[in-house]
Structure 1
Amino acid sequence: MTAATPFAASGPERVAFDRTELNAILALYGRMVAAGEWRDYGLSFLRDVAVFSVFRRTAEQPLYRIEKRPKLRNRQGQYAVIGMDGRVLKRGHDLRTVLRVLERKLIRAVE
C-alpha cells in the first residue's frame, strides 16, 4: 500500500501474498494434502512479513513456513521456506523456484 491509498490512514501497513503467490502456494498445498503429508495451514499478515504456515496437525508447531519479506527483495530475495527447526531451506527472488524445495519432498512421499 502507498500513502495515497485510503487504507494507509486506518492502521499500519501489512505485508500480504498477492493472488498469483497464493495460487502457487495453494497448488503445492493441495498436492501435499492429497499425498497425506499436510493437513492444515495458517496465514499471518504482519507489518514486515507475510507467513503461510503448514501443519501436519492443527495443535502442532508448523512443519514449514513460507515467508515473504519485501525488505529483502534487493538482497537475498523476499521469499523463504523455513523448516520446523528454524533453518532456512531455500531463499530467493522467485516464489516458484523457492517452493521447489518442498516439491522434492512431495516426489519422495509419492514414490
Structure 2
Amino acid sequence: MTVQIPPEVTPFERPVEQVAFHRTELSQILSVYGRMVAAGEWRDYGISCLRDVAVFSVFRRTAEIPLYRIEKRPKLRNKQGMYSVIGANGQILRRGHDLGAVLRVLERKLIRAID
C-alpha cells in the first residue's frame, strides 16, 4: 500500500496573476465616462480583469454589445503601448503609452457644433 501525501498549500501562495487598472487609471477613465453619461451618450459600463488584459467596456444600453472597450495589455508596453481604445466593430481607434492621450479619441465624440 502506497501513501500519497497531498502537496503542501501555504497561506502565502500568490493567487493567479491578473491585470487590473490602477486607481489613477480608473480615475482618468471614469472622468471621461462621467462626462459622456452627463451628455446622454453612455449609460453603463463593465470591468473585466483577466490574465493578459484588463478591459473597461462602455455600453449605450445594458443589453447591447459595448460601444467602446478601453484595454490595458502590459505585454505591449515596450511595443505599441499598453493602452488601446477599440470600437464596437473591433477596430483599434487609438493605441499608445499614455492613457490620457489614448482617451482623447473618445472626448472628440463629445464635442459637437451647436446650432
Instruction: Calculate the TM-score normalised by the size of structure 2.
Output: 0.86
The alignment partner of 1:9 has SS state of coil
**Which string of whole-angstrom CA distances, capped at 9 and with x for unpartnered residues, describes residues 76-95 of structure 1?**
00000000000000000000
**Which string of whole-angstrom CA distances, capped at 9 and with x for unpartnered residues, describes residues 17-59 of structure 1?**
0010000000000000000000000000000000000000000
Structure 1 runs of 4+ aligned residues shifted over 6 Å read none
**Equivalent-residue separation in structure 1 for 2:55 and 2:47 (angstroms):** 6
**Equivalent-residue separation in structure 1 for 2:40 and 2:48 (angstroms):** 24
**Which string of whole-angstrom CA distances, capped at 9 and with x for unpartnered residues, describes residues 54-73 of structure 1?**
00000000000000000000
RMSD in angstroms over aligned alpha carbons? 2.1
Which of 80, 98, 112 is the matching residue for 1:108?
A: 112
Query: Which residues in structure 2 correspond to 1:19-98 (within 5 Å)?
Result: 19-98=23-102
Matched AA of 1:16: A
CA drift of 1:74 comes to 0.2
Matched AA of 1:82: I
Distance 1:71 1:41, change over 3 A: same
Percent of aligned pairs sharing the same letter: 74
* Structure index of larger Rg: 2
The alignment partner of 2:36 has SS state of helix
- In terms of fraction of residues, the more helix-rich structure is 1
Structure 2 unaligned segments of length 5 or more: list them: 1-10
Structure 1 unaligned segments of length 5 or more: list them: 1-6
The alignment partner of 1:107 has SS state of coil
**Equivalent-residue separation in structure 2 for 1:61 and 1:15 (angstroms):** 22
**Equivalent-residue separation in structure 1 for 2:53 and 2:77 (angstroms):** 12
Instruction: Calculate the TM-score normalised by the size of structure 1.
Output: 0.89
Q: How many residues align?
A: 106
